[in-house]
Amino acid sequence: MSASYPRIGVALGGGSARGLTHIPYIEAMDELGLKPSVISGTSIGALIGAGWASGMSGRDIREHAFDVLGTMRTIAGKLWAIQLRGIGGILKNGISMQLDATTIVDSFTPPNFPLEFKDLKIPLYVVATDFQSWHQVVFNSGQLRPAIAGSIAIPSLFKPVTYANHILVDGGVVNPLPLDQADIDTDFLIGIDVNGDPSEGLTKTDHKALDIWFGSAQIMMHSLTAHMMAAYPPDMYIRPHVASFGAMEFWRVREIVEHAEKEKDRFKRILHQKVEDWIADRQEVLPS
């Protein structure tokens, strides 16, 4: 990117399957020829952000997501293979209903996925939560996969990840949209918030227990994001409408991406204009 362009920081928020809506926005930046100087990510934002930081294009990420998440059978096959690989542990410790986040990262990332942060092409900041100290932990060096695993480890659904002297759970518990990390040495800050909104549930009354659990987490993350935005106001804030998709409905990947794609052209127009305005504001007025 030319020195005349702003250094762009992009914060990719957490939202489980709804986070697949990040993909069209990455494609939009690719189509504008804009590469971020810094990427930060929480939960699925950390996973997708790592793919982006590794050099994958938005199109690459889309095709990989369709390949590994495209049907319930594909996902179930991978999860069953994970269980079979852990059969020794099952025999020793009994069956656990909790998933192993590290194995999930290994199973759903491309074969040649980088092992360490230093192998990435764009600086990446991964946010997780330290369950013991109640603080956020930010990783940008060392091993990549366990950092991502800690960031995606949704409490109860995943076993906590023990790494680098921390017991880690999902980064969304403390920082669902890590604007603070994408604001490091950048000129232009973009936040993509995939947590959703209450619109679909305003008139619903027959909530299942899982709906209450995930919905309560969404409310908490919405409040945390509001505080983060007050401290680190983004130049562009994106919140796609994702309420019609369940938090764990990863097999609907094509629908989710196509749904978000409707906003891609508008995002491109606004981003292009804002970058042009930024450049114009900084050009020196030459004497006549």
Site of tokens 């194995």: 103
Neighbouring residues of 226: CB distance < 8 A, sequence distance ≥ 6: none
- Which residues are catalytically annotated? 43, 170
Helical ranges in 128-250 per DSSP H: 145-152, 179-182, 209-231
- CA 230 to chain CA centroid, Å, is 21
Reading the block at residue 274, the tokens are 């804002």
Report the C-alpha dihedral over residues 176, 178, 180, 186, rounded to 10 degrees. -160
Determine contact, residues 105/152, Cβ cutoff 8 Å. yes
Determine contact, residues 17/243, Cβ cutoff 8 Å. no
Determine contact, residues 252/66, Cβ cutoff 8 Å. no
d(C-alpha 71, C-alpha 202), whole Å: 30
Q: Which amino acid is at 130?
A: D
Reading the block at residue 32, the tokens are 């504008």
Helical ranges in the chain per DSSP H: 22-32, 44-53, 58-69, 72-85, 87-93, 101-108, 145-152, 179-182, 209-231, 253-261, 264-282
Reading the block at residue 204, the tokens are 């619903």
Site of tokens 């906003």: 263
Question: Residue 262, Cβ neighbours under 10 Å: how many?
Answer: 11
